[in-house]
Amino acid sequence: MNIKSLLLGSAAVLVAASTAQAADAIVVEPEPVEYVRICDAYGSGFFYIPGTETCMRIGGYVRSTYRHYTDTVGGVESNDHAVWNYRGRLNILVNNETDWGTLASYLRIQGGDASADGDANAGIDQAWISISGFRLGYGESLWGSNGATGPSIDDGFFNFDQAIFLEYTYAMDGLALVVGAQDSTGTAATSESPDYYAGLRYDADWGFVAAKWIHDSTTAANPSGETDGDAYSLAAEFNLGDSGWTLGAWYEADGEDITQYIGGGSAGSVVDASLADYQWGVQLNGALADNLSGYVSYSAMEAVSSSTTFIDATKVAVGLVWTPITGLKIQTEYVSYEGDYVLASEDADYDAFIVRVTRSW
């Protein structure tokens, strides 16, 4: 065997060894990762938080609203002005199942409002936790919510209210009984807390009916010397057959003319409806076409006899809602307000034209 044969044999052995090592090498294949898993246990839009069995839904909207007002006092036009503002809102709902039932939490972050025409700070607008029928946190309690006011931008004299609250709901076959206590954001320095409330609501295919009551204690007496008061509310909404239209109505009253919960909402730029004996409203809304709906609403209130501002007022709103594409809504509304202005012994009225564009998700 010569040197050449030895070299060729050694090379062949090395090549064979290298080939064997290459054949035996382990190649690690990447495993597919499910970054987003759909959670259908609580309705559409929920997904699992990665690595957990907790479901989350993120929603919200961005909107811009333009209002033009023409104010009239004593039959004479006194002010003609416009307000243009915006709002951004983010809703976060997180649910998961436990031995105690569904544990839910809700967080609403919001920035911009009626006076937001420049930079606006965002803050926590609502935050609550619920489990086993209990709900605790800050937001709209049973008293502060009303499902019968309809889609109008200016929803009349209904006084929406947010509060720190604790409530319990017992629900069965469409019937819900709610009891709770709250400290309202509208609490005055003379008001004592908490305030106690209870309500009953029944939902069916034809609509719903609801009744609620709240007790308010204060340190300031009314003209009759009373420091405790009660407010009452009734609401109903009816589906008008298969037409796609609904009819809603609501009524609120202050039994002793003392509670902070019958406040008349926003009465516009002419009169501050800070006091009310009772207030009510009715609205009709429904589809006009595949992507167009319309509505009309009427509401009225009467101020307490001790008010130095005005006796009574009415509002009428008529509007259209156009949804040209999914997630985009364009709404126009005309509002007519009439109030008896006691302080000046004359009427105070305004007309408003409103345009709102909302992108929601």
pLDDT in tens, 302-341: 875 554 555 688 999 999 999 999 999 999 999 999 887 6
CA distance 196 to 184: 11
Among 43, 31, 275, smallest CA distance to 159 is for: 275
Structure tokens at 236: 């109903």
Does residue 142 contact residue 133 with C-beta atoms inside 8 Å? no
Q: What angle do CA 62, 66, 70 make, to 5 degrees?
A: 155
Among 306, 228, 234, smallest CA distance to 274 is for: 306
Cβ contacts of 291 within 8 Å, gap of 6 or more: 322, 323, 324
Across 145-167, average pLDDT: 85
Q: Specify the amino acid at residue 267.
A: A
pLDDT at 193: 72
Please count the other Cβ atoms lying within 10 Å of the Cβ belonging to residue 355. 15
Where is mean pLDDT largest: 100-114, 175-189, 258-272? Answer: 100-114
Choose between 287 and 189: higher pLDDT.
287
pLDDT in tens, 277-286: 788 999 999 9
Residue for token pair 């031995």: 99
pLDDT at 198: 97
Does residue 298 contact residue 282 with C-beta atoms inside 8 Å? yes
Where is mean pLDDT largest: 31-35, 189-193, 232-236, 345-349? Answer: 232-236
Q: Does domain 39-360 have CATH number 2.60.40.10?
A: no
Structure tokens at 79: 């002010």
Across 32-43, average pLDDT: 84
pLDDT at 9: 53
CA distance 294 to 297: 11
Q: Classify 272 as helix, strand or coil.
A: coil
Among 293, 358, 283, smallest CA distance to 322 is for: 293
What are the boundaries of each domain within the chain?
Answer: 39-360
